[in-house]
Amino acid sequence: MKLSQIGELTLLDQIRKRFKKKSNNIIVGIGDDAAVLKPIYKNLLVTTDMMVEGVHFDLSLTTPYQLGFKLISVNVSDIYAMAGKPLYLLLNIAVKKNTEKKFIDKLFDGIKDAMNLHDTILIGGDLSATKSGMALSATLIGYAKRHIQRSGANVGDGIYVTGNLGDSACGLELLKRIKRPVPLERSKIRKHGAKRKELRDKSKDPMRHAPCAMLLKGLSWNTVEPLLRRHLLPEARDAKKFARYATSMIDISDGLLIDLSRLCSESRVGARIYIDNIPLSPELKKAAVHLDIPPLKLALSGGEDYEMLFTAPAGNKVRAIYIGEIIKSGRFIVDSSGREKPFSAKGYQHFCKRE
């Protein structure tokens, strides 16, 4: 059935029922002209992110479930990057009238799973028809006892990341070769810390199909799946545990070099990072060689990993990966032989030998 056959009011009613969640802090939720919230938090955080068809996503490579999941993850990641906790969500959806209701249901499945994972409540939004294409936008309200900005890095601080880099960009490269959506989902939502293995679903293996198997010959599904997952179903990293000592923080959405450059600009400092310390997953190393792309190129300049990048004064026992230090000025990257070269936001070319 098409959305035009259902009508806006019925759809709104369905949204209201599906996302119903009680909270003592919400006085008025979905259904009125505005939501009413109890002001119990001192410092509120507010962030918004938009995803536009043809610009941020391609429906020939992604499922509606994945789209919905990612929309929430990217917004939650921004709240986590301020050392905050996400609370309330506003959701704006613009789609063509002839969109299948099934598509919207799947989109909401993804949105709901990601919202449950991060404990957020839908409090409102807007619906609109478009003449062509689709646009989604979410606004997330959160709070932080002590927020952490990009601008707090000091000379002498260590620079840390919370996990492997480049996996998402590698997943996208694989997806471009697979050339169709891979129906990975998060049917069993788990909290952080559970083993990745639980999420694997062999029945969804696109490599069963002959053309994929040929294209990605030599790569196993065990290598491909985690990389695709990092791209299609990114999980925002809760940075709460670093809040005690982090001096500055940013989530890596556009690539390490770009986001580190942003942090340096806001903090008015420089940085030196060490190539050998950049964390690369074994899957990335395998797949990148196969794709003939230097893994470091993906790790330094590939976006959408949604790991946190933060700085902390020396002397703290930081449970993250140390990649370098904050210096007075300049941005440098030190290669395996100890040679130091300046980097720009897109300067990976100087550091990667083709493999």
Report in angstroms how near the CB of residue 140 gets to ligand ADP at its nearest.
13
The residue number whose beta carbon is nearest to Mg ion equals 33
As a residue count, the chain comes to: 355
Query: Which residue among 26, 50, 94, 127 contacts ligand ADP (CB under 6 A)?
Result: 127
**Site membership for Mg ion, residue 292 (CB under 5 A):** no
Stretch that binds Mg ion, among 28-36, 192-200, 246-254, 268-276 (CB under 5 A): 28-36
Query: Which residue among 79, 81, 93, 182 contacts ligand ADP (CB under 6 A)?
Result: 93
**Site membership for ligand ADP, residue 125 (CB under 6 A):** yes
Total residues at the site for ligand ADP (CB under 6 A)? 13
Residue 91: name its binding partner from ligand ADP, Mg ion, none (Cβ under 5 to 8 Å by kind): ligand ADP
For 21, 48, 162, 218, 301, the CA distances from 285, given in Å and listed in that order, are 43, 34, 18, 13, 15
Pairing of strands 135-143, 248-251: unpaired
3-state secondary structure 104-141: HHHHHHHHHHHHHHCCCEEEEEEEEEECCCCEEEEEEE
Residues 14-43 interacting with ligand ADP (rule: CB under 6 A): 15, 30-33
Stretch that binds Mg ion, among 25-33, 167-175, 211-219, 285-293 (CB under 5 A): 25-33
Rounded Cα distance, 274 and 315, in Å: 19
Q: Give me the amino acid identity at 87.
A: L
Specify whether the CB–CB gap between 325 and 272 falls below 8 A.
Answer: yes
Residue 337 in tokens: 């032989």
Residue 124: name its binding partner from ligand ADP, Mg ion, none (Cβ under 5 to 8 Å by kind): ligand ADP
Total residues at the site for Mg ion (CB under 5 A)? 1
Pairing of strands 321-327, 270-274: antiparallel
Report in angstroms how near the CB of residue 59 gets to Mg ion at its nearest.
31
Binding-site ranges for Mg ion (CB under 5 A): 33
Binding-site ranges for ligand ADP (CB under 6 A): 12, 15, 30-33, 91, 93, 122, 124-127
